[in-house]
Amino acid sequence: MISLPPSERDLHAYVDHQLLESDRRAMETWLAGHPEVAAQVHAWQQDAQLLRASLSGVLQTPANPQLDPALIRQRIRHRSRRHLATAAALLIAVGIGGLGGWHAREATHPPTLPMTDAMQAYRLFAQDGIMPADYKTQDSGTMQAWLDRYFNQAHRLPDLSQAGFRPVSGRLLTTEQGAAAMVLYEDRQGQRISFYIRPPGPGNGFLPRGSRSADGLQAEYWSGGGYNYAMVSPVGQPGTPLLKF
């Protein structure tokens, strides 16, 4: 409830329609008896109206296609691909120097088995732990947000919280098929499952849903939203077979 005579603050609130209805009526009654103040308030109202009128024309300016959000999003994506490439240069150096050069091998003989790179990434990051994470979190919502910066319209991160797994770290890498990311989940016992995402590559190699195992690792893979995905975990890790992705 405003007090009368009104403070200047209340007069502005009146001009800006920010008074309660009862206060607004009280103000109008009071202004009717105080023409000098009413004139001032009216002048402010008129200034506001004229300002609205004079600035309304700008709203009709023809659209500038350069400002379309989809286009801007695309530009950002191209830029983040370049950032990914920088991160990957480091990864490739590690791969060739320390791990028998599986990158080089794959570059000359494209993998015939689906999502081999997802399993390789699991080995590098989840088992050997040689690369620091690009992103760490305690919260699955922010992990999703992190991932969304690099991948558009991708499938959501699977919620494995029922099985006790939470996303803890994310890493960016490049592959022959394009920019990829791996999100590592952990449970309280320190068991790990990875979510891996990357584009299908130049040949649009989308995958029917399937699974396979190699060298002690199990991969479930599928495609959707323009990307290929894999969930990778060690064969026989307790709890994992119950998960649905």
Contact footprint for other proteins (CB under 8 A): 5-9, 11-13, 16-18, 36-37, 39-40, 43-44, 47-48, 50-55, 57-61, 63-64, 66-70, 72-73, 75-76, 142, 145-146, 148-149, 152-153
Residue 118 near residue 182, CB atoms below 8 Å: yes
**CA atoms 201, 203, 209, 212: torsion sign:** negative
Report the residue number, 32 or 67, with the smaller CB distance to other proteins: 67
Report the residue number, 49 or 127, with the smaller CB distance to other proteins: 49
26 secondary structure, DSSP code? H
116 phi and psi angles, rounded to 5 deg: -60, -40
Nearest C-alpha neighbor of 234 from the set 190, 168, 200, 198: 190
Report the residue number, 39 or 130, with the smaller CB distance to other proteins: 39
Residue 201 Cβ, how far from other proteins at the closest point, in Å?
Answer: 23
71 phi and psi angles, rounded to 5 deg: -70, -45
Residue 199 Cβ, how far from other proteins at the closest point, in Å?
Answer: 17
Residue 9 Cβ, how far from other proteins at the closest point, in Å?
Answer: 5
Angle subtended by helix axes 8-15 and 35-56, to nearest 10: 40
Residue 146 Cβ, how far from other proteins at the closest point, in Å?
Answer: 7
